[in-house]
Chains A and B, each alone.
Chain A
Amino acid sequence: MESGTIKDHAELAADFNKDEARVDWHDETLWWIRQKRDKSVHQIPEWEALREMGSQIKNNVLANLDKYLLQFEANALANGVKIHWAADAKEHNQIVLSLLREQSLSRMVKSKSMLTEECGLNEYLEHNGIQVIDSDLGERIVQLAKEAPSHIVLPCIHKKKEEIGELFHQHLGTPKGNSDPQFLTDTARAHLREIFLTRKVALTGVNFAVAETGEIVVCTNEGNADMGANLADVHIASMGIEKIIPERRHLGVFLRLLTRSATGQPITTYSSHFKKPAEGKEMHIILVDNGRSEQLGREDFRNSLKCIRCGACMNTCPVYRRSGGHSYHSAIAGPIGSILAPNLDMKKYADLPFASTLCGSCTNVCPVKIDIHDQLYKWRQVIVKNGYAPETKKVAMKVMSWTLASPTAYHTAGKAARLLLKYAPFTVNNKLNLWYKHRDMPAPPEQSFGEWYKANRNKG
């Protein structure tokens, strides 16, 4: 199809790296958040035990997901909530549209939901004549810029305040050149207040859905989900089916894990429970599969569904920090996105599991102990076996494996490489050699260790 014209992670990352000062700024900003996370988790001596508990609760959820989903549905229905099941993104978007059409409404306010990004909801609704305004400040900023979020917790982390000032000048009429964060935030607050007061339908995401009670919990720092949902007549909550937790008391584990991992705060400013619609109002929950059942069936990748979307793996990832969220060309960027996306479209996202050095830092910060870097390795094997490796790489790997399986071929090739470097360095030190572009080649030694050993130690 058109995949030939789409840039892959390496190309997009190379574009991002053309402005080194910006890369430094992006890296430092996210590293600062990683340090805030470190500081806050070190205040809790039982942190590692808490991670283990979070992981085990989620393992239990995934092993019994069918049971918990039905329990959740029954309890939510009993609370007076309307439940919708969506097999994929398209069904989810159609359900949202039909709920708006039922009300004869063409405007909606939406708080942060990575699921709706995954489903492409905004584009779908706009295409159908519905105006959607994102109420999370970061999301609103990227929406004004007509961009996708570059981070699941910090959607506009790639934008400098001066750029935000310019966007607000263009769209919200602030004075040109004013990029004072307090002033811009006040402007956004006034702008969004007007939206909250006039929208009759509000869509929110879901952080946790409690099977035991049928309630959902939405975590925000801005209170924007509450403003939207409580002022509207209709509250639609969209959730991936993996958001279930068995009991309310388990929130005591997850609420502690989530924000410490995400931003270093002890807890989100607002952790709001929505259980039933207020008198005369409606509450709808859409339970979305969109590939999750398939991922659940992939034994090696199943536990990626434990993710609670804290973004810690992005903040710690040395590659993410230096390539930017958009280089992952997927709704969810970074290490977790790289193990989720190939399940949705293996061909389109075949590059993502390779956008890592497998350093393993992501796995160590993950609050629910997803073995992210091991899954990256495993996805590489699956992608190659399914034929999505570039042809040149296939040939190179075959030659390499043949050479390395034969001591004679290996010794000959090694010697040839050293001689080439020594007597004809121009054959290696040129722009066709990607190593050489910004790095010198190692100086070729007179002897390999094998040759030295033969000459010095090989006395039978």
Chain B
Amino acid sequence: MTVGLFIPCYVDQFYPGAAIATLQLLEKLGVKVVYPQNQTCCGQPMANSGFEHLTGGCNDLFIKNFAEFDYVVAPSGSCALHLKQHLHDESQPEVAAKLRTNIYELTSFLTDVLKVEELPARFPHKVGVHQSCHGQRGLHLSQMSELVAPGFSKPGRLLNMVKDIEIIPLNRIDECCGFGGTFCVAEEAVSVKMGVDRVADHLQHGAEYITGVDMSCLMHMEGILNREGSKVKVLHIAEILNGE
């Protein structure tokens, strides 16, 4: 099995640590991973702003880079969801369709494809888990508080395999952090207030770290934490799962 590694553009540029951890974690689990170096972005920033018609270039590039792989794995629920819903190519629709099926967000790839049961990781800290909406409500990585349905959590299952980790409870277990792509600047006031409130819930419960499957939400919350002078750090879930 060869996995094509898709690293979201902002992770590539600003959070290489999350990408390196993803790569190392997959390799540790015996997967052959290739990172196509001409990749850029999934196209979501344009699409969510109403400009899906301008994402053709991103789609073409994505298909060119990833068509050959058995699976594509991305350390992001949001980008994976966008590709699953909107990756299209009129000249080769079946290639695009196959890719839409074979794209996985990292944690669901670990639980559903690799069926990971144990991890050699240790993280002796209090950790708050942020449920990123696109991963949770879009890809169903975990049960949603609105529904009357049995609970489960793919990221939660993996974090429970980490030694000495303490997952803190939250008042609102799956409220949006307010990042929302271009929403974070287009609706700056509400976006910030949502982020401030989300961070406060984690702080109130004694989090030392906030983690999640999407670095974008974490970047937004980190911006708020740092501005508030907080010592609390954000870490992509791959960095915890790949820990010592």
**Residues of A bordering B, CB below 8 Å:** 9-10, 13-14, 16-17, 20, 23, 27, 31, 38, 41-42, 44-45, 47-48, 316, 318-319, 322-323, 353-361, 363-365, 377, 380-381, 383-385, 389, 393, 397-398, 400-407, 410, 414, 417-418, 434-435, 437-442, 444-445, 447-450, 452-454, 457-458
Contact = CB atoms under 8 A, between A and B. Distances in A.
B164 interface: no
B194 A322 contact: yes
Given A10-B189, A450-B12, A316 B146 contact: yes
B93 interface: no
A323 B190 contact: yes
A400 B45 contact: yes
A453 B146 contact: no
Given A354-B183, A452-B20, A404 B219 contact: no
B184 A435 contact: yes
A9 B137 contact: no
Given A10-B188, A401-B57, A447 B197 contact: no
A399 to B, nearest CB: 10
Given A380-B49, A397-B54, A358 B147 contact: no
Q: Which of B41, B146, B179, B197 has the most CB of A within 10 A?
A: B146
Interface residues of B, number: 75
B52 A381 contact: yes
Contacts of A457: 23, 35
Interface stretch (B99-107, B154-162, B220-228): B220-228
A29 to B, nearest CB: 14
25 contacts: A13-B190, A17-B189, A48-B148, A319-B187, A323-B190, A354-B187, A357-B178, A358-B133, A361-B146, A380-B48, A381-B53, A397-B49, A401-B46, A401-B51, A401-B57, A404-B57, A405-B57, A405-B61, A414-B12, A414-B13, A417-B13, A437-B192, A441-B223, A448-B13, A449-B7
Given A410-B41, A450-B37, A23 B12 contact: no
A353 B145 CA distance: 24
Contacts of A14: 188-189
A347 B219 CA distance: 33
A13 B187 contact: yes
Chain A contact surface mostly:
helix
Contact of B144 (A10, A364, A407): A364
A48 B149 contact: yes
Interface string B185-202: 111111111111100000
A432 to B, nearest CB: 11
A437 B188 contact: yes
Given A48-B147, A410-B9, 16 more contacts: A13-B189, A14-B188, A17-B190, A48-B149, A318-B175, A361-B146, A381-B53, A393-B49, A401-B43, A401-B58, A435-B184, A438-B223, A439-B224, A439-B227, A442-B219, A449-B19
Contacts of A438: 188, 192, 196, 223-224, 227
B223 A361 contact: no
Contacts of B194: 318-319, 322, 357
B120 interface: no
A448 B16 contact: yes
Given A360-B138, A384-B51, A453 B35 contact: yes
B122 to A, nearest CB: 24
A41 to B, nearest CB: 6
Given A364-B137, A380-B50, A439-B220, A407 B146 contact: no
A458 B5 CA distance: 14
A449 B146 contact: no
B223 A405 contact: no
A38 B175 CA distance: 14
Contacts of B67: none
Contacts, number: 213
A377 B48 contact: yes
A407 B183 contact: no
Contacts of B57: 401-402, 404-406
Interface in B1-15: 7, 9, 11-15
B40 to A, nearest CB: 4
Contacts of A380: 48-50
Contacts of B91: none
Given A318-B176, A383-B50, A397-B46, A414 B9 contact: yes
A360 B51 contact: no
B176 A357 contact: yes
Contacts of B68: none
B179 A357 contact: yes
Contact of A42 (B7, B51, B54, B148): B148
Nearest to B193: A322
Contact of B16 (A9, A435, A445): A445
B70 interface: no
B20 A449 contact: yes
B51 A31 contact: no
Contacts of A398: 54
Given A20-B193, A48-B148, A381-B53, A452 B16 contact: yes
B153 interface: no
A319 B190 CA distance: 7
Interface string B139-173: 00000111111000000000000000000000010
A435 B175 CA distance: 21
B226 A440 contact: yes
B39 interface: yes
B38 interface: yes
B185 A434 contact: yes
Given A381-B53, A410-B9, A445-B16, A405 B180 contact: no
Contacts of A48: 147-149
Nearest to B144: A364
Contacts of A417: 13
Contacts of A452: 16, 19-20
B223 A449 contact: no
Contact of A444 (B9, B14, B23, B47): B14
Q: Which of A31, A384, A405, A417 has the most CB of B within 10 A?
A: A405
B94 to A, nearest CB: 22
A448 B7 CA distance: 11
B244 interface: no
B101 to A, nearest CB: 19
